Structure 1
Amino acid sequence: MKTSDFYYDLPQELIAQDPLEDRSSSRLLVLDRKTGEMEHRVFRDITEYLRPGDCLVVNNTKVIPARLLGVKEDTGAGIEILLLKRKADNVWETLVKPGKKARPGARIVFGDGILKGEVLEVVDEGNRLIRFEYEGIFEEILDRLGQMPLPPYITHQLKDKNRYQTVYAEHDGSAAAPTAGLHFTPELLEEIQAKGVRLAHVTLHVGLGTFRPVKVEDVSQHHMHSEYYVVEEEQARLINDTRAAGGRVICVGTTSCRTLESAADEDGILRAGSGWTDIFIYPGYRFKIMDALITNFHLPESTLLMLVSAFADKEKIMKAYEEAVRQRYRFFSFGDAMFIK
């Protein structure tokens, strides 16, 4: 299977640059993965497709303001850092621009010196390990100095950084939002639960690898980035009980899907625990636990488009994307949604 098999033509103006004022007013394309039939709805209509006894699985990770702008201590040259993974208390793996200014030993100053960093070493893919020095609580300093690391295709400034968080975001750690969840409001979640639908929380900290292009033509040769996940005992029990009772497990976003598929055994029993997953789901994959998926529209030739194609059949997905382009849906992180049932 070739990467180019997942290409589609997207007019630039369909890439959503700003979130809608009302999260739940985005459009919703409903796709029946068995028949290929499509419906055009509004996201808040999702309640009509959920049944008592179903379980909606959300990813409660929280995006940290991981983009830091600083200067080199010796030259004053500007430097940009993106926090990727915490390696130890004060040591982070980072993406640095321009990298040539960040050799081991280089010192960087942020926010008039309330935060300083020293480059320790260069690691995989040119990333840098940086040890930070500060007084106080790192998260509070980051909240003051950091900016939301919006995807590269969004060029507008985000006025309210909470709009790049889900309303149920809880655990700090992501460099990108699990964007399928951005459509939910507290009121809509209440309505869903009042209908008898259970809500389960898992955590997967989304890395910037989610935006990395697939650079090989043979899909099976692509190496997936790894991300940290947590499934708590109570949540695993809730999901397993749903399946045992004949309810559907409906994932909100590809990150929830990857978490469940990583933590489930071959019999579709979800195991509580935590760890790193580099699961790569593409056509041919046999799903162990997910019955339906709420997701946004993904980039051409991306691993996320491959995942939804594995779930719903590539031909049906590509036809749905052609229809979404024809109907002028909004694409990517701040765009519209799909419900694949």
Structure 2
Amino acid sequence: MNTQAIRIEDYTYELPENKIAKYPLQNRSDSKLLVFNQNIREYSFNDISSLLPPNSLLLFNNTKVIQARLNFQKQTGANIEIFCLEPVEPSDIAMIFQAKEKATWKCIVGNSKKWKEGSLSRDIYVNGTEVHLSISREKNMEDTQLIQFCWNSKDVSFGDLLDAIGNIPIPPYLNRKSEAIDTFRYQTVYSNHKGSVAAPTAGLHFTDEILAQIRKNNIHTAPVTLHVGAGTFKPVKSALIGEHEMHIEHFFVDMPTLDLILKYEEDITSVGTTTVRTLESLYWLGVKLLENKNELYVNQWDAYHLPQHYNLQEAIGRLKQYLIDEKRNILESHTGILIAPGYDFKVVNRLITNFHQPNSTLLLLVSAFTKGDNWKRIYDYALTHDFRFLSYGDSSLLYRGEESTQSKY
């Protein structure tokens, strides 16, 4: 199959506005759960621990959403919104939140036409300390701008500033401003490492109680970290997939998790598409090292051009050896992998995920995973059985297509 020749118009569907969940349910785990294997069945997410096979591995993305939207007001009264996308100086995702007095980010500027020149500022209180914060534009790019933040306190970090005045960047398709409930409900209960501007939403259904039950059922769990960028909401606007440019996201995986992937080969469940992107990228990084390519990152089309004859043990084993040689315990890389029909999955056997937007790369991933037109069966069922869609919507547990039949429902 020529993946680059795929037409996005073949991967769309009609999503009525009333099917989009604008707010989370009162209880995280009360969402509905569609299970696709030999047929389509309907459960509650509370049942997930009994639906996953014992002695298997569940991997999830423990990134934490930052309060990335900040509001400033000009003297004229015009409101300017700054949406922090990616750190520039310092560029390290951990260091940026510890930065003092100055930091530079790549940002989207809302109402930019009203901000023609000069800097903007506001006085705020951070942990009882009065701080004067100012911003200035350093460079204009195609869709973004480099914004430098400056503040007059050596005791206040950039992370402190975001916590004090930032807002959670809920998805644009919710068509509402963020509210108090989003501050904690647009985070997974296991979120740990700050860096995302969008939540890995498949994990929003999990509770501490469900995770405890999963482990009690002898299902092993482990984290990966991929910081989700705003590009996850970027629709495919080109007619052909080959003309779409994927966004780049940074990820981190430690040595113990690599060991577990090898131990539970062929019995791995991924919580969310961001975890899938991370896990599948690990394989291709290993292949690159096996092929003596000095590139520790995954490009958009690498998976369709690199050799595919290496098994998972070889690829992950080579990654482990790289970490040993470098005297490191954590692999840090970035990926722009595009997973679409024609992709051959190397790591993931089951996928827990929400229901995604039409014309999106996430829908392409689901189609690739379930094979053929099975995605249409799944989405038709969800639309006609009152499932809630998108970030705050219901969930699904999908088995890889080759493990499924073509039965109706």
Fold match by TM threshold 0.5: yes
Structure-to-structure mapping, 1:191-210, within 5 angstroms: 191-210=213-232
Aligned to 1:255: 274
Do residues 267 (structure 1) and 325 (structure 2) align? no
**Which one of the candidate residues 366, 370, 378 is aligned to 1:320?**
378
**CA shift for structure 1 position 76:** 5.1
| Cα offsets for 1:102-147 (capped at 9, x unmatched) | 56x6312245563211110012x32011111122111111111000
CA 1:110 to 1:154, structure 2 compared with 1: closer, same or farther past 3 Å?
farther
Which amino acid is the alignment partner of residue 311 of structure 2? D
Do residues 128 (structure 1) and 145 (structure 2) align? yes
Do residues 138 (structure 1) and 182 (structure 2) align? no
Which amino acid is the alignment partner of residue 128 of structure 1? Q
Moved more, 81-90 or 47-56: 47-56
CA 1:293 to 1:303, structure 2 compared with 1: closer, same or farther past 3 Å?
same
Which amino acid is the alignment partner of residue 68 of structure 2? A
2-side partners of 1:250 and 1:133: how far apart? 44
Aligned to 1:164: 186
**CA shift for structure 1 position 9:** 1.0
2-side partners of 1:3 and 1:314: how far apart? 15
1-side partners of 2:148 and 2:370: how far apart? 44
**Secondary structure in structure 1 of the residue aligned to 2:43:** strand
Do residues 331 (structure 1) and 389 (structure 2) align? yes
Which amino acid is the alignment partner of residue 271 of structure 2? V
Structure-to-structure mapping, 1:1-341, within 5 angstroms: 1-32=6-37, 35=38, 37-72=39-74, 77-89=78-90, 90-102=103-115, 106-112=118-124, 114-123=132-141, 125-134=142-151, 135=153, 136-156=156-176, 157-160=178-181, 161-243=183-265, 248-264=267-283, 265=286, 266-268=310-312, 269-270=315-316, 271=319, 273-341=331-399
Moved more, 169-178 or 258-267: 258-267
Which amino acid is the alignment partner of residue 275 of structure 2? S
**CA shift for structure 1 position 300:** 0.5
2-side partners of 1:83 and 1:142: how far apart? 10
CA 1:111 to 1:57, structure 2 compared with 1: closer, same or farther past 3 Å?
farther
Identity across matched positions, percent: 41
Larger-gyration structure (1/2): 2
**Secondary structure in structure 2 of the residue aligned to 1:87:** strand
Moved more, 289-298 or 305-314: 305-314
Which amino acid is the alignment partner of residue 311 of structure 1? F
2-side partners of 1:334 and 1:169: how far apart? 16
Which amino acid is the alignment partner of residue 23 of structure 2? D
Contact persistence 1:57–1:256 (CA under 8 A): yes
2-side partners of 1:19 and 1:250: how far apart? 24
**Secondary structure in structure 1 of the residue aligned to 2:160:** helix
1-side partners of 2:390 and 2:161: how far apart? 30
CA 1:97 to 1:314, structure 2 compared with 1: closer, same or farther past 3 Å?
farther
Contact persistence 1:207–1:227 (CA under 8 A): yes
CA 1:69 to 1:234, structure 2 compared with 1: closer, same or farther past 3 Å?
same
Moved more, 110-119 or 128-137: 110-119
Contact persistence 1:66–1:148 (CA under 8 A): yes
1-side partners of 2:147 and 2:76: how far apart? 18
**Secondary structure in structure 1 of the residue aligned to 2:364:** helix
1-side partners of 2:243 and 2:341: how far apart? 14
**CA shift for structure 1 position 321:** 0.2
2-side partners of 1:337 and 1:289: how far apart? 21
Count of residues paired in the alignment: 332
Q: For structure 2, list consecutive stretches of 5 or more residues without a partner in the other structure.
A: 1-5, 91-102, 125-130, 287-309, 320-329, 400-409
Contact persistence 1:24–1:43 (CA under 8 A): yes
Contact persistence 1:96–1:102 (CA under 8 A): no
1-side partners of 2:242 and 2:377: how far apart? 23
**Secondary structure in structure 2 of the residue aligned to 1:203:** strand
Contact persistence 1:102–1:119 (CA under 8 A): no
Contact persistence 1:200–1:239 (CA under 8 A): no
Contact persistence 1:70–1:111 (CA under 8 A): no
Q: For structure 1, list consecutive stretches of 5 or more residues without a partner in the other structure.
A: none
CA 1:78 to 1:158, structure 2 compared with 1: closer, same or farther past 3 Å?
closer
Moved more, 164-173 or 136-145: 136-145
RMSD across aligned C-alpha pairs, in angstroms? 1.6
